Structure 1
Amino acid sequence: MILHCVFIRFRQEVTASEKEAIYAGIAALKGIIDGIVDVKAGPNVSPEGLDSGYGDGFAVTFENAAARDAYLDHPDHKAVGEKIVAAAAGGMSGLLVFDMKV
């Protein structure tokens, strides 16, 4: 399996309801794109203070790398991705993406 982690520095003016709408859009992809096992999203709750400003994030678990790759190319993922980039501080520079085998 592949764990696809995305950490976001949202622009300050992005509201909680806008964040929830983005997370709902990501979660909805599970019913659209084959190979998605699980989706989790929310704010950072770590007490360590090591988030480097990435206050929110989500993780998508895929059956395998092929499922992840299909997700990356899927038009519905690209539409949600555009909303994420628009809401992130500095656009793409407000994102950190990290994938690992689990």
Structure 2
Amino acid sequence: MILHCVFVRFKSALQAAEKQELYEAIAGLKTVVPGILDLKAGPNVSAEGLNGGFLDGFIVTFESPEARDAYIAAPGHIAVAERIVAAAEGGLSGLIVYDLAA
């Protein structure tokens, strides 16, 4: 299994409705890309204050590294990823992507 963790620092001008649309688009990938076992998305709820300004994120659980690789190349993922990058503060520098073998 692979846990694909993505943390986002959205632009401050991003409206709540736009953020919700992005969360829905991310959740929709589960029905389009095979090999996704679970997907969670939402705002950070940690009380530790150690988020470094990354207040939103999502975690996708894949059945295998191959499923994760297919997801990365999938047109649906690419379209959603482009929307996320456009909404992130500083584009790609407003993202952290971390994959963990579980």
Instruction: Give the TM-score range, shorter chain.
Output: over 0.9
**TM-score normalised by structure 1 residue count:** 0.98
Cα distance in 1 for residues equivalent to 2:5 and 2:16: 20
**2:35 aligned residue:** 35
The runs of at least 4 aligned residues of structure 1 exceeding 2 Å deviation read none
1:47-66 maps to which residues of 2 (within 5 A)?
47-66=47-66
DSSP 3-state at the match of 1:66: helix
1:17 Cα deviation after fit: 1.3
Aligned-residue sequence identity (percent) comes to 59
- Per-residue CA deviations over 1:61-101 (Å, capped at 9, x if unaligned) read 00000000000000110000000000000000000000001
DSSP 3-state at the match of 1:51: coil
Structure 1 stretch displaced more, 79-88 or 10-19: 10-19
**1:82 aligned residue:** 82
**TM-score normalised by structure 2 residue count:** 0.98
**1:46 aligned residue:** 46
Cα distance in 1 for residues equivalent to 2:32 and 2:47: 35
Q: CA RMSD for the aligned pairs?
A: 0.6
1:12-31 maps to which residues of 2 (within 5 A)?
12-31=12-31
Structure 1 stretch displaced more, 59-68 or 11-20: 11-20
1:23 Cα deviation after fit: 1.0
Cα distance in 1 for residues equivalent to 2:101 and 2:16: 31
1:54 Cα deviation after fit: 0.2
Q: Which blocks of at least 5 consecutive residues in structure 2 are unaligned?
A: none
Aligned residues: 102
